[in-house]
């Protein structure tokens, strides 16, 4: 029994034995908690100012419009430049933007149009940051440990989803919104410190693509001609557009369905985060990755979202959101691993940029839709639409897998 537990721990946390990734993991633990604090703080700030689900959806959409339009170019940049140096720039820029928002709130000068501008600016930063961060993991841990590192990184994101909103709710209730945004700005310093501490000799940088005409088109053509990449991104685009709009639907669910406050919103986010941590650790302990496993994860993600839309009270809703979190991270980690492992090193930045477009860049389309459904019909319907989208994506993925008449990809 003890030996089995030791083996489980050794397999589950294998990539943390690598010093550079361990440093990165520690820095992200601090920074991501601040990021989730800002997510809950910005959503609540918009609701306090506007009392509008549509405005909340629009602000969220504006933050991701740059990823939709400029995300593929971010992938080209990630393939052309040193990932570590690029992360110095993007993390510093994000810190400055969080500090500006904190100052505006502290001086009571913040207005809705200012939130729109800062959200759009953060979106531009993330268009560069996302492909750089995703592909930097491979450079730290190598191909053999990539799946494990991706799963642990996804687990960490969702552990921060537990810690960040809990701290954020306490900040809002006791100190107010301004200290919350300022804390997030300071948290980025942790990432800059660990990037500096890393050993360059222990990194395995991908070959830098030389500047040339047509590199963006080359990336699109590469994905189009590689069925597993194309189909995985298609599923992610459907689910990213309508299912992963939790920053829009959860505040509405807290305020209008359960007649709660910022603490209620934080509780829903924490519950989902707890489930995500469990799902991430489970995925990290699994050695195989397959297209069929990805389809099953999408199906279960959709089914648990539909279940959560029907919960009669907050206690049952919290339990259902934990299940949603479990299968959401299972789907994300599987998809991320498959995309990186099946991409050539010279194309990996562009492929992961398209992953960011499908997952995050689709928010400008889905955010206002889910926000409007939540406001004018019922937040529960917003969850149900997301669940149906995930079930549809699973069905589409299975149909394409069978149509291509190829065995399930195992990596």
Q: What is the pLDDT of residue 305?
A: 95
Q: What is the pLDDT of residue 88?
A: 93
**Whether the Cβ atoms of residue 296 and residue 280 lie closer than 8 Å to each other:** no
Q: What is the pLDDT of residue 329?
A: 84
Residue matched to tokens 């690598």: 18
**Whether the Cβ atoms of residue 395 and residue 302 lie closer than 8 Å to each other:** no
Q: Tell me phi and psi for residue 99, to 5 degrees.
A: -65, -40
Pairwise CA distance, residues 216 & 33, whole Å:
33
Q: What is the pLDDT of residue 410?
A: 41
Q: What is the pLDDT of residue 408?
A: 42
Pairwise CA distance, residues 153 & 172, whole Å:
27
Pairwise CA distance, residues 213 & 220, whole Å:
14
Q: What is the pLDDT of residue 373?
A: 87
Instruction: Sort 81 into a burial class: Cβ within 10 Å, 0-12 / 13-18 / 19+.
Output: middle
Q: What is the pLDDT of residue 2?
A: 47
Q: What is the pLDDT of residue 333?
A: 81
**Whether the Cβ atoms of residue 357 and residue 369 lie closer than 8 Å to each other:** no
Instruction: Please report the DSSP string for 102-149 in residue order.
Output: HHHHHTT---HHHHHHHHHHHHHHHHHHHHHHHHHHHHHH-STTHHHH
The architecture in CATH of the region 9-196+215-403 reads: Up-down Bundle (1.20)
Residues of the chain falling short of pLDDT 50: 2, 407-411
Q: What is the pLDDT of residue 411?
A: 41
Q: What is the pLDDT of residue 161?
A: 64
Q: What are the domain boundaries of the chain?
A: 9-196+215-403
pLDDT (tens digit, 9 = 90+) per residue, 39-87?
Answer: 888 888 998 888 877 787 788 778 878 887 887 888 888 888 888 989 9
């Amino acid at each position: 029994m003890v030996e089995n537990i030791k083996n489980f721990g050794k397999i589950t946390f294998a990539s943390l034995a690598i010093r550079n990734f361990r440093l990165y993991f520690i820095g992200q633990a601090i920074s991501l908690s601040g990021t989730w604090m800002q997510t809950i703080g910005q959503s609540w700030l918009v609701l306090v100012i506007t009392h509008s689900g549509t405005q909340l959806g629009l602000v969220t959409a504006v933050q991701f419009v740059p990823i939709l339009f400029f995300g593929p170019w971010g992938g080209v940049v990630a393939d052309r430049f040193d990932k570590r140096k690029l992360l110095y720039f993007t993390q510093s820029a994000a810190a400055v933007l969080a500090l500006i928002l904190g100052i505006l709130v502290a001086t009571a000068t913040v207005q809705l149009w200012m939130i729109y501008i800062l959200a759009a600016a953060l979106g531009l930063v993330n268009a560069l940051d996302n492909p750089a961060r995703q592909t930097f993991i491979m450079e730290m841990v190598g191909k053999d440990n990539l799946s494990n590192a991706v799963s642990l990184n996804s687990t960490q994101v969702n552990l921060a989803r537990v810690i960040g909103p809990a701290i954020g709710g306490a900040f809002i209730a006791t100190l107010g919104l301004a200290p919350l945004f300022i804390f997030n700005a300071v948290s980025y310093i942790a990432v800059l410190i660990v990037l500096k501490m890393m050993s360059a000799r222990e990194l395995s940088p991908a070959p830098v693509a030389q500047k040339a005409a047509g590199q963006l088109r080359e990336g699109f053509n590469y994905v189009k001609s590689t069925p597993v990449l194309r189909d995985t991104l298609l599923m992610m685009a459907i689910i990213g557009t309508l299912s992963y709009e939790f920053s829009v639907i959860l505040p509405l669910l807290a305020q209008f369905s359960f007649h709660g406050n910022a603490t209620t919103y934080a509780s829903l986010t924490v519950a989902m985060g707890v489930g995500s941590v469990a799902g991430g650790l489970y995925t990290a302990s699994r050695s195989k990755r397959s297209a069929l496993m990805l389809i099953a994860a999408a199906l279960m993600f959709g089914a648990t979202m539909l279940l959560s839309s029907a919960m009669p009270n907050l206690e049952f809703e919290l339990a259902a959101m934990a299940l949603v979190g479990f299968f959401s991270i299972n789907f994300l980690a599987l998809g991320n691993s498959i995309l990186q492992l099946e991409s050539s090193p010279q194309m990996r930045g562009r492929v992961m940029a398209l992953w960011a477009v499908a997952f995050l860049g689709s928010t400008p389309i889905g955010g206002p839709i889910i926000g409007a459904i939540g406001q004018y019909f019922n937040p529960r319907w917003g969850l149900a639409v997301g669940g149906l989208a995930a079930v549809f994506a699973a069905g589409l993925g299975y149909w394409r897998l069978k149509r291509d008449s190829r065995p399930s990809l195992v990596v």
